[in-house]
Amino acid sequence: MLCISSCKNESEGKTAEIQQGKEVVISNARGFQITKFDDYSLMQVNTPWPEAKDPFIYLLNEKDAEIPENIEYDQIVEVPVKKIVVTSTTHIPALEALEEEKTLAGFPGLNYISSEKTRKLIKNGSVSELGQNENINTEVLIDLSPDVVIGFAINSSNKSFETIQKTGIPVIYNGDWTELTPLGKAEWIKFFGALYGKEEKAAKIFQNIKDEYIKAKELAKSAKSSPKVISGSMYNDNWYMPYGNSWQAQFIKDANANYLYADTEGDGSLSLAFESVLEKAEDAEYWISSGQFTSYEQLFNESEHYRRFKAVKDEKVYSVSLFQGETGGIIFYELGPQRPDLILKDLISIFHPELLKDHEQVFYKALN
């Protein structure tokens, strides 16, 4: 009886330990959560892709950690991670901010990476080419033998990741791109902080970004006007525009400008006839995120109809395509999600130049 009682108490102790884990503060992101224990963590990714039915639970254990037997999880990873493979350029800035870019072993589509720091690693052969995200070269990846692969997927069907997991290499899905708010995306640096045992550093980085964002947002409120703004561009006779509940639209709102399609909701992009956009937005004062255009010449070569917009006549068209890495990658798509404070300051300096006279625009630049 004493033996049975002793075993029972030990089991109850382990159960209690699970219940007493400390929740890591996640204030803006909705797609993941982390519960930290003495020598392991449980990370739950709720939205690995849009409309995912079930969350993924990942056990991040330190070396020689004692893990209770009744914990359920999808993948287990020993932390801190020493060698990693990531699959989206949005993951690169987080590695660099945490000073862990040297742990990057492979990436699908190296030319898409723009950061100078990581490109130096690519040039010296430290980072291997893995093909394309939809069809990763699994043979090369398996030879690299990374501690973990950070997956990026639009749905549950990914044969490459299934093959990788069968070899014993864990795949963890990162859903930073599913967040709808600027600060929500930026907070995913805490996801990487947990992998490297740098939770405090990640929290500090995010807090600094959040403080700067809120400070800029408050400054924008002091502007005397809210200019009318449009976004997107035409493709195959349709104008694709961000929905009013999108990440891009939130920036315009926080910069104290009037996005003319702010009352729309949906996933992806609005698809509009040119005539309807012209009718509604011909007198818009600013046009931002104008596709891949870098000059007015390119704009007019695509369509002379663009000349009818006030923003074009007044030369107030801004694009993120003018700031590229050495291999042609657009830096906005790589660094922007982690630095929403810089995006917001760019837009405030455009819409309200009197408020940020000394700000040097990072992502949004006027067409040549």
The string of pLDDT tens digits covering residues 136-149 is 999 999 999 999 99
* Of residues 269, 321, 267, the one with CA closest to residue 295: 321
Question: According to the model, what pLDDT value does residue 8 have?
Answer: 36
Listed by start position, the domains of the chain span 16-209, 224-366
Tell me the CATH architecture of domain 224-366.
3-Layer(aba) Sandwich (3.40)
Question: According to the model, what pLDDT value does residue 20 have?
Answer: 80
Question: According to the model, what pLDDT value does residue 3 have?
Answer: 40
Mean of pLDDT values over 28-41: 95
Mean of pLDDT values over 172-196: 96
Sign for the CA dihedral angle at 137, 138, 142, 143 comes to negative
Question: According to the model, what pLDDT value does residue 354 have?
Answer: 95
pLDDT tens digit sequence for 257-279: 999 999 999 888 999 999 999 99
Could you give the strand order of the β-sheet that contains 317-319, starting from the edge strand earlier in sequence?
258-259, 228-231, 286-288, 317-319, 365-366
Q: Would residue 75 be called left, alpha or beta, if left means φ above 0 and alpha means ψ between -120 and 50 degrees?
A: beta
pTM: 0.91
Asked if residue 77 has pLDDT above 70, the reply is yes
Question: According to the model, what pLDDT value does residue 209 have?
Answer: 98
16-209 and 224-366 share one fold: yes
Tell me the CATH architecture of domain 16-209.
3-Layer(aba) Sandwich (3.40)
